[in-house]
Structures are given as C-alpha cells and as structure tokens.
Chain A
Amino acid sequence: MVKKRSKKRIDRKTVLVLIILTVFFILFAKLVYVQIFLHGKISRAVRKMVNRENIEVSRRGDILDSKEKVLASSVKKYSVFLDPKIIKDFDRVKNVLAENGIKIKEKSLVELGETSYVPVAFNIDADVVDRIKNEKLKGVGFESKYIRQYPEGRLLAHILGIIGYDGNGLEGIEKTYNESLSGNTVMTKTIRDGRGRIIQSGFADAPKICGQDVILSIDRTVQFIAEQELREAFDKHKAKKAICIVQDPKTGNILAMVSLPDFDSSEKIRDIRVLRNSAISDIYEPGSTFKIVAIAAALELGKIKFTDSFYLENGKYKIAGHTIKDDHKISGSASLCKIMEQSSNIGMIKIAQKLDRENFYEYIKKFGFYSLTGIDLPGEAKGLLMDVKKWNALSLPTISFGQGIGVTALQLINAFSAIANDGVLMKPSLIQDIRRADSETASAKDAATSQERRNVGETDDEMTASVFDLKEIRRVVSVETAQMVKKLLKNVVDFGTGRSAKVPGYTTGGKTGTAQKVDPTIKTYSAKYYTASFCGMLPAMNPKVVILVVIDEPKGSSYYATSVASPVFAKIAKRIAEYLGIEKDDVDKLPLQK
C-alpha cells in the first residue's frame, strides 16, 4: 500500500518537473527564436525607434552695417497645422487656436478633407506655440522655419537684396554672399527612448553650422541721410530714377548707395523692375562730369599746363559737319579754370584735341570705365565705349564732354575718388568683414593673431586692411595732376556752375553734368529728357567723402544739374560731414553766429 502511494507521489513529482521543464523549454525556445531568428527584424525596429535622423537647417547669418547694427537677420517662426485624422474634439481645437489668434474657417472636420496636413497659420511666435502646446491638443502640429527680417524696411533694399522661398539669396548681398550666409545643412542623429524623449543629441555644436555674419562698409545713418534727401528730390522733380553713392576715397569703401525707385525686402515684390540696382546696373551718358578724364589725361601727359588758355570760338564750334554749342557763352579765350567753371564743351574739345585718340582711350580705361569695378553685388554693367579703332571724327570731341560713352554711377564716383585719393584708383567695396557669430574660439584665435601682429608693429588699421584687402587697382595720374584737378573742381563750386553745391564751413569741389538723353523714338538726342548729376568731394583738397547724385529725367521748369542735382549734394554732404565729424576747413565763409 505504502509502495503504491510512493510510486504515485513519484509520478506526480515527475509530472511537475516535466511541466516546469516544458515551460522553461518553451521559454528557451522562444528566446532562441527571438534572439536568433528574429534578431535582425527586432534590432532594425529598435534602431529605427531609438536612433532618429534629422535634417538640421542652420540659421542664416546676419547682415550688419559698419557700426554692427543689424540690417538683416533670421528669426525662428512656426507654422501650425492640423491632422484631421487624429483630432478628436474639433470644437476644442478651434476654441484654443482662436484664443491664440488663429482662426479656422472650416466648421467641421469633414470640411478639412481627407488629408493629414492642413496648415492653418504661419509666422507664429514661440510663446504662442508654447501656450497651444500646453493645452495638449491631439492632431495639432507645429513646424519651425527661419524667416528673414529686415528691420530697417526700405533702407538699403538694393544692397541687401532678397531671398527666395528656399532661403537662398536672389539679389544683392544675400545673393553674392549666399554661401557664407547660409551655413551648412547637416544630418544629425539623436537617441530617443520609447516615448520619443531625447536621451542623447547627436550634434551639439549648433554655432558651427550657422551661417556667417557679413559686416558691410555701409553706415546706416549715412545711408539714411542719402536716402532721405534723394527721395525728397526724386519726388519733387518727379524723376524716372535717382541714384546717390557715398564713397570713402582713401579706402574705396562704399558708405551709402541708394537707387530709386526701391522696394521693401520684407514685402512681396509686385514689380520686378524695382529690383534693378541702377547704381551699378544702369548705364548713362555722364555729360560734363566726365570732363575730369580728358583734363587729367592732358595735364598728366604734359599736353596742357594749368595756366593755359583756349579760344572758345564765341560759343559755336563747327567740327566734322556738326556745330557744338556752349550753354554758357564765353567770348574770346578762357583759362583752364574758366573752362571747367563754366563747363565749356568747346574748351573741353580743344583740350581733348591736344591728346591723340589712343591716349584718351587709354586714360578712359585707366580711370576704370568700360570695365567691371568688381563690387560685391550681382548685375554690375561694364558700360559702353566704342573701340578706339572705330572712332570717327566726332568721337574724341564728344566723349571729352561725356557724350557717346555709357558709364555706371559706380564707375563715375570711383573715377572721382581716384582724383580725391591723389591719383590712385581703389576697388570699391561693400564688405568690411565676414565672421562666424558666437564663435568664441574664432574670436580668441583672432585676438591672439592680432596681438602677434601688433607685436611686430602693425597698426589696427593695417590689420583690418589686410583682412579684406584694400585693393589699390592702379595709379591713374600723379599726385600733382590730381591736386590740379581738385583745384579745378574746387573752383567749379566756388565760382562756377557748382555754386549751389557749396557746403557751409567746408571747402567743396565737384562737377555738374547735364546730359541730354537719346530718345529712341526720334533716334537722336532729346530736347525733353535729361540726366542731371553732380559728383563732388569735401574737404576739397583733402577729401574724406566723395558723393555722387544722379537725377534721371527730372520734370518741371528746370532740368539743369545746378538746380536739380547740386542742391541735393549740398544737403547730403552737409549732414554727412556733421555726422562723420569731418573738421570744418572753411570757417571764414561760415555765416556769422548770432
């Protein structure tokens, strides 16, 4: 009986062990199946869930003025979208969004359609997004995007340019320096847990992929002054176009560049013609402002002397079957000074005739005409100039007073700057520096390098100059010739056609230009359309700034540069001189203090 019971117990124990063994065997088998046979599939799923790849779009660099005021910057904004397939309580979603200023027109989920992506708001600030996120709404998503902003509005529109929907520059500095500004777009890996929380961010050094900041030579206050005064004249004379450029003749740096009509970079461009930067892209006949070229060439080559006089044919000079007339008739002979003061075309022809064609052509080219200046902006025009071999009997005489040649405003001011800079032509530049924002290492390295360079006796100015090489293009004329031309330009303002350009307290030099425009309908020079311009410098003999004002097709009673362009120059020059703290050098002629 006992033996039978014991056998029964053994049987039970055996069964229990077998059951346990079976369970373990099943578990082991499952483990083997999972670990060996399902290994690839599971690890792929885990990798996909844990390791996530993101495209990290870098922030576009800022554009700053010479005083480091922000002119263009990118700000993170959000767009809000709905996924109708996930939304449970549409009314609540609508109410919460409405409380945060986002209105949804659709009355029901059905109206939103079958899609999983319905954008409902753009350019939303981060604080609004936070408030909506706190409501923990299902089916409401957010996308971030950098938006380009231009806090100064219209100011500098042509220089800054615009960017396209893809964030790449299309015009202006935004286009020229797109590569530096846009930075890098990189693929980053993050490790997340099962709930999507980031455990480890794969890319920590965001500043390294950010775009670099571009610092311009433009001073926004100088730009504002030039733009304000030019706009006033543009409106007053109902002009077709207007241009003003302010340049530092010693460095070639552009301090201001205005082209009207203009646009607001932040707003939608309705007429693409306004995008054209007339200062560098449009060519025009410069008229009498071009006279400095023939005078400088003749003086430099010793063909004329400063004290020479020329017979002015009583105001009418017949040449190659054409009669050239002077607006300001001078009887008998006139000195070089008088010819420039009264802007005599006949006198100018007489001077140019002392030069041969090749010499004159060579000096036109030497002053930088009919070649690109290399400014850091897209769309620069080369100008128009017939090959010297194709010149006819009228070419040399007419080109000497600025007819029969097409120049850009930038080429003209750069030529005047060469005279102001004692005969040396500089490369005009808009860029002062390009650097990475928030880069402590770069700054530290720069500081160390700067210290080393100071130790070997380099000044700060020399160091800045070498970073963005001040490019001296060539010496055009000698210092003596440049001084003589400056004296002639001073006389134009003191006694001649440029009197309205006189800036109180400063000696001022410059030249007026009233050029007839070619009327395409009659295929000859028009008696109705003119381009009035004035290019001047101050102080006259040691210029700190050179300013060019061009008013295209002024309407009204007067179209002469002396009444249209010179007064604008005077206003701009006065305000800029005061702002830049240029020392007054003509104190005797100041109005008496009360």
Chain B
Amino acid sequence: MYKSFLAVVLIILSVFIYLWQQNTSTRFAYKISSLRAEYDKINSENKSLQMKINSILALDKMHKIAEERNLFKPDENSIVYID
C-alpha cells in the first residue's frame, strides 16, 4: 500500500516538475524575446542618434559655423610646430 502511494506521489511529482520546467522555459522564452526586441530597439535608436551626431559634425556644417563665428584659418607664420 505504502509503495503504491509512493509511486503515485512520484508520478505526480514528476508531472509537476515537468510542467514547472515547461512553464519556466516558456517564461524565459518570453523574457528573452522581449529583451531581444528591446536590444534591437536600443541598438536601432543608438544608430539613429549616432547618425544625428555625424550629421551635426559634418565638415561642411562645421565650416559654416566657423565662418558665422568669424573664425579663420591661422596664418602660416602664426603656427609653431612642436617636434
């Protein structure tokens, strides 16, 4: 009788462990998928911001800003090269 009871308990326990494992695996899969989507989104945003920075630092734009602020190229004689 005791052995039969133990067998039933073991079977039920195994079923529960299997179900718990499946459930955990699915939960993690959801989490991984959502984190991956977030990573892709952040990566994409990062790329977009990087392009905005590149666009702001474009040589032509910087040159125009320098001209607006009356900055000019130094005269050859005013440059001292340090070895």
Contact = CB atoms under 8 A, between A and B. Distances in A.
Interface stretch (A192-200, A400-408, A520-528): A192-200
Interface in B29-83: 29-30, 32-33, 36-37, 40-41, 44-45, 47-48, 50-51, 54-55, 57-61, 63, 76-77
B26 A199 contact: yes
A224 B59 contact: yes
A76 B26 contact: no
B48 to A, nearest CB: 5
A593 B51 contact: no
Contacts of B44: 75-76, 126
B58 A152 contact: yes
A73 B43 CA distance: 14
Contact of B76 (A77, A221, A591): A591
A387 interface: no
B77 A593 contact: yes
Chain A contact patch, size range: 20 to 34
Interface residues of B, number: 25
Given A73-B51, A75-B51, A126-B41, A155 B77 contact: no
B58 A126 contact: no
Contact of A594 (B51, B58, B77): B77
Interface residue SS majority, chain A: mixed
B48 A126 contact: yes
Contacts of A127: 45
Given A73-B51, A151-B51, A198 B60 contact: no
B76 A75 contact: no
A154 B59 CA distance: 11
A126 B77 contact: no
Contacts of A154: 60
A533 B51 CA distance: 37
Contacts of A228: 63
A148 to B, nearest CB: 10
A153 interface: yes
Interface string A140-163: 000000000101111100000000
Interface in A382-427: none
A478 interface: no
Contacts of A152: 54, 58-60
A212 B13 CA distance: 52
A198 B77 CA distance: 67
A198 B26 CA distance: 10
A70 B77 contact: no
Interface string A560-594: 00000000000000000000000000000001011
A125 B59 CA distance: 25
B54 A69 contact: yes
10 contacts: A76-B44, A127-B45, A130-B41, A151-B57, A152-B59, A197-B30, A198-B33, A201-B32, A504-B76, A594-B77
Interface of A: 69-70, 73, 75-77, 125-127, 130, 149, 151-155, 193, 197-201, 204, 206, 220-221, 224, 228, 504, 591, 593-594
Nearest 9 A/B pairs, CB to CB: A151-B54, A198-B33, A151-B55, A76-B44, A224-B59, A199-B29, A75-B48, A152-B58, A70-B54
Given A76-B47, A130-B41, A220-B59, 19 more contacts: A70-B50, A70-B51, A73-B50, A73-B51, A75-B44, A75-B48, A76-B44, A125-B48, A126-B44, A149-B51, A151-B57, A153-B58, A155-B59, A193-B26, A198-B29, A198-B33, A199-B29, A206-B40, A224-B63
